[in-house]
Chains A and B, each alone.
Chain A
Amino acid sequence: MKSTALLLFVFLLWHPAAQAQEPFYKGKNLTIVVGTKAGDVYDLYPRLLAEYWSKYIPGNPNIIIQNVAGAASLIAANQVYNLGKPDGLTLGAIYPALYFDQLTKRPEVKFDWTKFNWIGSTVRSNHLLYMRADTPYKSMKDVRKASTAPKCGATGTASTGYYMPKLFEETLGTKFDIVAGYQAGQDIDLAVERGEVQCRAFTITAYFAREPFISWRKRNFVRVLIQTGKKRDEKLSDVPTIYELMDRYKTPEPPRRLTTVVLAAGDFGRPIVAPPGVPADRVKILRDGFAKAIRDPNLLKEADKRQLEIDPTSSEELESLAKEVIAATPEVVERMKKLIGQETK
C-alpha cells in the first residue's frame, strides 16, 4: 500500500501539470549563433560567456555555440532574425556595425535593427589612430595642414581602419590616404614597420594588450594622435578626443550627427541579440541572466587571463541606441555612404 502511494506520488511529480512549474530552460539547449569563424575575437566572447551564463538562467540550459560565418556576420544576423520559431532558444552574436548596411539600404539586409531583442554586450570599444613617430605629423593639426596626406592602412571598407580616418576627414578637415586591402590588422602593422604606410585606426584595448605595440611604445615608434571615447582614456591622458577637436575646429552640426551615428558602433560593442517575437518573460530571463553572468567574479578572472576586456552595455541602452541610430536623417545616411566607400550619386 505504501509503495503504491509512493508510486502515485512519483507519477504526480512527473505529470506534465506538475512539470509546468519547472523553468522553461530546464533540460533545453540554448544556441548562440556566432557570425564569425571559431577563434575570432567575436567568437571568443560568446564562448567565454557560455561557460558562466547558464548558471544564471533558471533551469540551467546547455549553451551551445554555433558558428555561421560570412559577410561580416550579416548571414548570422539574417538567420537569427528570421527564425521560424522565435522561442528564445536561439540567439545571435553579431557585428556591432551591421546597422550601417541597413541605413545604406543594402538589399541583402533582412532584419530591422530596432526590432531585435537586445540581450546585452560584453565590451564597448573606443578607437585610436596611431602615426609613425618619424613622420612630420605630430598632431591632428599637422595632418590638417599637411600638403601630402599620410597613408593609413586598412583591411576592407567595412573596417574601422577605413572609416575612422574618413570620419576624421569629414569632421576635422584632416586628409588621409587610405590604403585598403591588407589581409589582417597585423599585416598593416608590419607594413607600418616597413614604411609602406604610416598610420592605422583600431581599438584602444588592442593597442595596450598586444605586441608589436608594447615594444613600439617602449621605443617611441608611434604616437597616438586621437581617440574616439567621450572622455580621454586614462592610459591616453595626453591624447585629445574627437569631441574636443570638433569643439576646437568648430565642426558644424551635420558632421557631428554623423559622428554620433558612426561611433555608436563602439557602444554596441559585441552584442548578443534575440529575434523579435520571443516571449517577453524569456527575454527578461535572458537579460537578467546576462547582466549577472557578466559580473560573475570567475568570469571576470577568466576574461582577464584570456586578455578579453569586459565593459558591458545594458540591454536598455542597446535598445535605445538602436532606435537612435536607425532614426538617422537621409543627409547623415548620404554622408555615411561616402564614409564606407559606397559611391553616392
Chain B
Amino acid sequence: MIEAFVSGFWQVLAWPAFGYLLIGITVGFFVGLLPGIGGLATLALMLPFSYTIKEPVPAFCFLLGMLAVTGTTGDLTSILFGIPGEGSSAALILDGYPMSKKGEAGRALGAAIMSSLIGSVVGALALALSIPIMRPLVLLFGSPELFIIVIMGITFIGTLSGRSMMKGLLAGGAGLMLAAIGVDPQTGSLRYTFGNLYLWDRLDLVPVVVGLFAIPEIVDLAVRGTSIAGSKPEKLTGVWDGVVDNFRHFWLVMRCSLIGVYFGVLPVLGANVAQWISYAHAVRGLKDKNAAGKGAVEGVLGPGAATTSTRGGDLIPTVAFGIPGSGSMALLLGALLIVGLQPGPEMLKTRLDVTFAMVWILIIANIIVCGVCFLILNQLAALTFIRGHLLIPFLLFFVFIGSFTANNSYGDLIVTLIFGVMGYLMVLFQWPRPPLILGVTLGKIAENYLWISTAAYGAKWLLFPSVVILIMITIVTVAYPTIKERTGRARYERPGDAI
C-alpha cells in the first residue's frame, strides 16, 4: 500500500509524465478562464491526443491535470467579471463579484485559489482513504434518497432569499418548470418543444447560466460607465489577505470540501450542485446575515473549496466500480480502457499505483496552478480597474462564443439572450437567480428520481427511514428561522436579499 503510494508520486514526477502534466495544466488553465468552454468538452477534444501516449500515468497527467485545474481558474472569471468561467463556478459570482466591485478583487482571488487548493487536497485524500469503503459509500443512497436530496437542495437555496423567501421558492419552481422542456424520458412525449428540434434535448445549462449571470452584469457595467471596481481605484487589497481568510474560516473550508467530495461520489450530482449547497452552507453561518451577496468572503471560500473537491469524489465510483460519477469521468473511463487498464476492483489490486498516481496528479496540478495564479493575481485583479467600455466587447465576445460551443447551435445563442433579458429583469425586480439555476440543473434529475422511485417501490419509498430523516431536515431548515422569530427568544436576522 505505502509502496504504491510512493511509487505513484514518483511516476507523476518522472519524465515525460511531468511534461504532459504541464501541458494539461496549461490547456486547463485557459479553458477554465474562458466562459462557457467547459472541462467536459475540452476533455472530449483532447482524448484523441492521449491515444498516442502509451503509458497510463503520463496519459492521466495530461487529462486529469487538465480537468483538475479548470475548476480553479473558472473561479477567477466569476470573481473578476461576474461571468461564470465554468458551469460549476457560478456560485462564486454571488459574493466574489461584489468583492471585485468593492475593489477587493485581490482578496477574493486569493481566497478562491487557496480554498480550491485545500478542496483539491481534501478530495484527493478522500479518494485515497475511501478505497476500502468505496462500495457502501456509493450504494448508500438510492433513487428515493437522491430525489429528496435534490428537493432539499432547491429548498435550501430558496430559503436563502431572506425576506422574500417566497420569491426564492417560486424562482426554484420556475426553474423546475423550465427543466421540463424537452423529450420526456418516461413516455417519449414532447413537452414545450413547439416543433423545434433544438428544444428536444432540454435546455443546456451553459447558455442558461451564462445568460442569466453574465449578461445583466455586462449591461450593468455599461450603464455605470465605470470600471468594474468603480471609479476610484484604491490600493489593491492583498491577495495574501484572501489566503489568510482560509485559515480564519478553516473548518468552513473543510466542511465545504467534504460536501464537494460526497456530491462527487453520488451519481449524477456533481460540482454543479455542490457549489450551491456549499454556498448555502457558508452563507447560513454568517454572523451578519445582511452581508451575504454583498461581498462576504465566506461565500467565496465555500463553493471555491467544494468545486475542486468534487473531482476526487467523482473518481471514487469511477475507479472502484468502473462506473463514472460524472460526464467527464465517463470520458476518463474511456481513456483508462485505451491505455489498457480495466477500472474496477481488479485495478485496485493489480495497479494500485495508478490509482495513487491519480491522487497525486490532483494535488500536484493544483499546487502548480495555484503557484502560477499567485504570480499573476495582482495583474488579473488590475483588470477590474480597466474602463468598462474597453472590457465589454471582449466580455460579450467570450460570452457568446462560450455559449455557442455548448452544442454548436444557434439555439444556444438565442437561449443566452433570452436568459440574459430574464436575468436583467430578475436583478431589477430583486428576484433571486440561484434558485432558478438550481431548478433548471436539478429539474430533470428530480423528475427522473421521483419517477424511478415510484416505479420501483410504489408509494412505499416515502416511509423509508432515510427518506423520512431527509424530509425532516428539509422541513426544519425551512421552518427554523420563522419559528425562532415567532418565539422571539433571540432576534434572528434573516439573510438579506442576498441572492
Contact = CB atoms under 8 A, between A and B. Distances in A.
Interface residues on A, range: 35 or more
A211 B292 CA distance: 45
A22 interface: no
Given A179-B455, A181-B447, A210 B268 contact: no
B138 interface: yes
A211 B321 contact: yes
Contacts of B447: 181
Nearest to B144: A196
B392 to A, nearest CB: 31
B465 interface: no
Interface stretch (A116-124, A155-163, A247-255): A155-163
Given A177-B455, A190-B267, A71 B324 contact: no
A214 B197 contact: no
Nearest to B40: A39
A74 B451 CA distance: 26
A157 B452 contact: no
A307 B338 contact: yes
Interface in A35-69: 37-39, 43-44, 47, 66-69
Of the listed residues B201, B323, B445, the one surrounded by the most CB atoms of chain A closer than 10 A to its CB is B323
A183 interface: yes
Interface stretch (B112-120, B329-337, B377-385): B329-337
A215 B345 contact: yes
B44 A38 contact: yes
Interface in B384-434: 407-409
Nearest to A107: B195
Contacts of A78: 197
Interface string B445-481: 1011101100110000000000000000000000000
A180 B451 contact: yes
Contacts, number: 148
A343 B142 CA distance: 30
A151 B455 contact: yes
A226 B337 CA distance: 27
A305 B54 CA distance: 10
Given A151-B456, A158-B188, A197-B456, A210 B143 contact: no
Nearest to A341: B188
A205 to B, nearest CB: 13
B41 interface: yes
Contact of A38 (B45, B344, B452): B45
Contact of A305 (B268, B338, B344): B338
A251 B479 CA distance: 60
Nearest to A106: B190
Of the listed residues B198, B322, B330, B409, the one surrounded by the most CB atoms of chain A closer than 10 A to its CB is B322
A193 interface: yes
B331 A181 contact: no
B456 A39 contact: no
A216 to B, nearest CB: 10
B188 A342 contact: yes
A179 B452 contact: yes
B197 A74 contact: yes
Interface string B138-182: 110011000000000000000000000000000000000000000
Nearest to B317: A190
B344 A157 contact: no
A37 B330 CA distance: 13
B407 A39 contact: no
Given A38-B44, A211-B344, A75 B197 contact: yes
Interface string A147-184: 00001000111100000000000000000011111111
Contacts of B407: 37, 69-70
Nearest to A43: B44
B330 to A, nearest CB: 7
A23 interface: no
A66 B139 contact: no
A40 to B, nearest CB: 8
B48 to A, nearest CB: 6
A222 B202 CA distance: 34
B106 interface: no
B456 A71 contact: no
A190 B188 CA distance: 24
A340 interface: yes
A197 B457 CA distance: 10
Contacts of A214: 322, 342, 344, 346
B451 A70 contact: no
Contact of A196 (B143, B186, B342, B451): B143
Given A67-B408, A71-B201, A193-B139, A183 B267 contact: yes
Given A181-B451, A183-B448, A211-B343, A71 B188 contact: no
B196 to A, nearest CB: 9
A212 interface: yes
A66 to B, nearest CB: 7
A186 B330 contact: yes
A39 B342 contact: no
Given A71-B197, A210-B322, A211-B343, A182 B188 contact: no
B142 to A, nearest CB: 5
B16 interface: no
A339 B37 CA distance: 39
A68 B408 contact: yes
B143 A307 contact: no
22 contacts: A47-B48, A69-B201, A70-B200, A74-B200, A108-B200, A156-B188, A157-B188, A158-B183, A181-B452, A182-B448, A183-B445, A183-B448, A186-B330, A190-B139, A211-B322, A211-B343, A212-B322, A214-B322, A305-B340, A306-B51, A306-B334, A341-B186
Given A78-B197, A190-B139, A194-B142, 20 more contacts: A38-B41, A39-B334, A69-B407, A107-B195, A151-B455, A157-B188, A179-B455, A179-B456, A181-B185, A181-B451, A183-B268, A184-B330, A187-B268, A194-B139, A210-B342, A211-B323, A214-B344, A305-B340, A307-B338, A342-B189
List the 4 closest A-B pairs by CB distance, nearest first. A211-B322, A39-B44, A211-B344, A181-B448
Interface of A: 37-39, 43-44, 47, 66-72, 74-75, 78, 107-108, 151, 155-158, 177-184, 186-187, 189-191, 193-194, 196-197, 209-212, 214-215, 302, 305-307, 340-343
Interface of B: 41, 43-45, 47-48, 51, 138-139, 142-143, 183, 185-189, 195, 197-198, 200-201, 267-268, 317, 321-324, 330-331, 334, 337-338, 340, 342-346, 407-409, 445, 447-449, 451-452, 455-456
